[in-house]
Amino acid sequence: MTLLYFIPGLLLAFGLYRMAQAALCLPSGKSVEMMRGIHGKRDMSERLQAALTPLARLIARLFPMSEYRQKRLAADFARLHMGETPQEYVGTAMTKSLLMPLIGLLFIPLGVPWLALLTAVAAVLAYFQRMQTVRKRVEAQNREIEAELPRLVETMNYSLQDNRDMLTFFEKYRKVAGKALGVELDRLITDMQIGNHEAALRNMDARLGLPSFSTLCAVLCGVYQGVDQHTSLLVLEQDMRTKERETLRRLMEKRPGRIKIASFILTVLMILMFMVPLILLIIGNLQAVGF
């Protein structure tokens, strides 16, 4: 019975608080956090990050990374507009993962050592998950760019028939480009405005690392050399669309079985849509001849 009185009382108190907040123009929690950010006050996560920074730098020095991994992470951070360096990011990830087992040691005096073991396993999993987060975000951007490349090549193929000014084309296409490709086009346009066009295209190719864009980059460099690439762009467009259909087909195969059921039902309905008029036509002809 106490619970039955407590829940309505709690809801009534919350309603009265919301009414008083609206009547007295009290700031909400988000407004308070924004005001703290304006005055330079950091939240708990930022304070924790600042406290772990010296330890993260020490661990980064104790466990140096290879030059190849450092360059790859630096390229990924540049694409994601992350201000951290690879050493700081990896050092912070290792620091947080090392602190978790240390905290888990507190479960041993409490008589639950299996929780300490689970904490150590969770720390290892958290480290690898944090390291894979950047790569997954980059792969998601690459997937979005690859999906838009066929439309880009098709538009380019029509535009180059009248004007071979690639800078003007990219500036116009930027207005309708997707988010991921638009960010890369902004950098490409800036590089083309202040430097060599072919070098700008090759720099974008190096940033993306996509085989399909590498082929497009080679074709566009041929355009700057005066080669007629109309046929090459047509073939490239068809290849990209074929690859995109295969990618979508593989994604559909990974979806839940209900999508396959819906596809089966749709196929049956399509067959019936074509077969029913044909059967009615046959029956009508048979009745007309006396059967």
* Contact yes or no for 138/80 (Cβ under 8 A): yes
Local structure of residue 161 (DSSP, 8 states): T
Question: Does the residue 118 lie in any domain?
Answer: no
Answer yes or no: is 175 within a domain: yes
d(C-alpha 56, C-alpha 49), whole Å: 10
Range of the domain at 202: 141-254
Position 23 in a domain: no
Q: Is residue 228 part of a domain?
A: yes
Longest dimension (CA), the chain: 96
E-strand stretches of 40-136: none
Number of domains in the chain: 1
0.95 exceeded by the pTM?
no
Q: Measure Cα distances from 10 to 16, 153, 242 in Å.
A: 10, 60, 59
Is residue 66 one of the residues assigned to a domain? no
| 8, part of any domain | no
In the block, residue with structure tokens 């077969």: 275
Paired tokens of 258? 């209900």
Residue of 80, 129, 96 whose CA lies nearest to 88: 96
* Burial (Cβ within 10 Å: 0-12, 13-18, ≥19) of residue 101: middle
In a domain, 67, yes or no: no
pLDDT at 161: 74
The pLDDT tens digits along the chain (291 residues) read: 454 445 555 555 566 566 655 655 555 555 545 555 544 455 555 666 666 677 777 777 777 788 888 888 888 888 887 877 888 888 888 888 888 887 777 777 777 777 778 888 888 888 888 888 888 888 888 888 888 888 888 888 888 777 778 888 888 888 888 888 888 888 888 888 888 888 888 888 888 888 888 888 888 888 777 777 778 888 888 888 888 888 878 777 766 655 667 677 778 777 877 777 777 777 777 777 666
